[in-house]
Structure 1
């Protein structure tokens, strides 16, 4: 099936949210998604966009996405974070993931970033193999640290 890659628009955010939910189910966190279409529109297309999103589109609609945002490394300088690269199950193995990753790499290169980083679940061996085949270094000796909204509130109460 043919597809094209382009920057997302506000009008794409309902389909983007659908893919985010699909990823959450795949990652066994189906009830964790709190973001709404309105949030994606406000956060991605407001006066100070918080992210850039690329979509992979077929004649049947959006079947993949890559969502990125700027970060800063105290060791390297400007970096880009790939929050999610999602390809709907039916389209895996078609080159869509590679095309989306290519777009992210081109975008980061054009911005002049020193590094592009992302996380992958340690049990997602197909994704790990995919990223390693592209030359990415999967750093298994680092742990991701999160402080969620409730944790932030608890922390604030203690200081």
Structure 2
């Protein structure tokens, strides 16, 4: 894929993140967490992100720029559907700075992810959204997203994850 993904928004472009964006990505993550009232849960550091994104390549980031200034990002990675028999894209975070919302940047970032998914022959694009975030839910529905209300998200973390790994749960 090219360095820049074209959009229909004047002075707005989307590019893949590079190592030099590591601090910017962490800044966006913290801004998003603050918006979601979850800032206290962010334990990521520049070192952790660098290792995860640019050494292990466990996820990828695209950055939206308006007038050459970064205004938002999307962090994503591949997962796999056994039913489809192919990879999918999973969107972990999508964020546009509040002062730049309404420009169409969020839609353009989602559209870019759709293009990446199609180019990589992915079966679908998935993500989660907090139940209270009504404006995002409406935005996603306008983009053709379907809520998966019949599914419940489960998580194992911290000591429970260690216990699970050691066969100590249940």
Specify if TM > 0.5: yes
Tell me how far 1:83 sits from its aligned partner: 0.6
Alignment of 1:51 with 2:66, yes or no, is: no
- Size of the aligned set, in residue pairs, is 158
The 10-residue stretch of structure 1 (147-156 or 110-119) with the greater mean CA deviation from structure 2: 147-156
Per the alignment, residue 114 of structure 2 pairs with 105
How many angstroms apart in 1 are the aligned matches of 2:28 and 2:79? 24
1:28 corresponds, among 29, 32, 37, to: 37
For 1:67, the equivalent position in structure 2 comes to 75
Q: C-alpha separation between the residues in 2 aligned to 1:115 and 1:15?
A: 28
CA RMSD of the aligned region, Å? 1.6
Query: Offset at 1:142?
Result: 1.7
Of residues 105-114 and 22-31 in structure 1, the stretch that sits farther from structure 2 once superposed is 22-31
Structure 2 distance, partners of 1:149, 1:85, is: 25
Question: CA offset at residue 93 of structure 1?
Answer: 1.0
1:146 pairs with 2:155: yes
User: Aligned partners of 2:39 and 2:77: how far apart in 1?
Assistant: 23
Contact 1:16-1:62 within 8 A present in 2 as well: no
- Normalising by the residue count of structure 2, what TM-score does the alignment of the two structures yield? 0.86
**Structure 2 SS opposite 1:50:** coil
Unaligned runs of 5+ in 1: none
User: 2:90 maps to which residue?
Assistant: 81
For residues 125 and 118 of structure 1, the distance between their equivalents in structure 2, rounded to whole angstroms, comes to 15
TM-score by length of 1: 0.92
User: Aligned partners of 1:84 and 1:102: how far apart in 2?
Assistant: 14
SS of equivalent residue, structure 1 residue 94? coil
Runs of 4+ in 1 over 6 A off after TM superposition: none
Please tell me whether residue 93 in structure 1 is matched to residue 102 in structure 2. Answer: yes
Deviation of residue 110 (structure 1)? 0.5
**3-state SS, counterpart of residue 11 of structure 2:** coil
Is there any run of 5+ residues in structure 2 with no aligned partner, and where?
Answer: 1-9
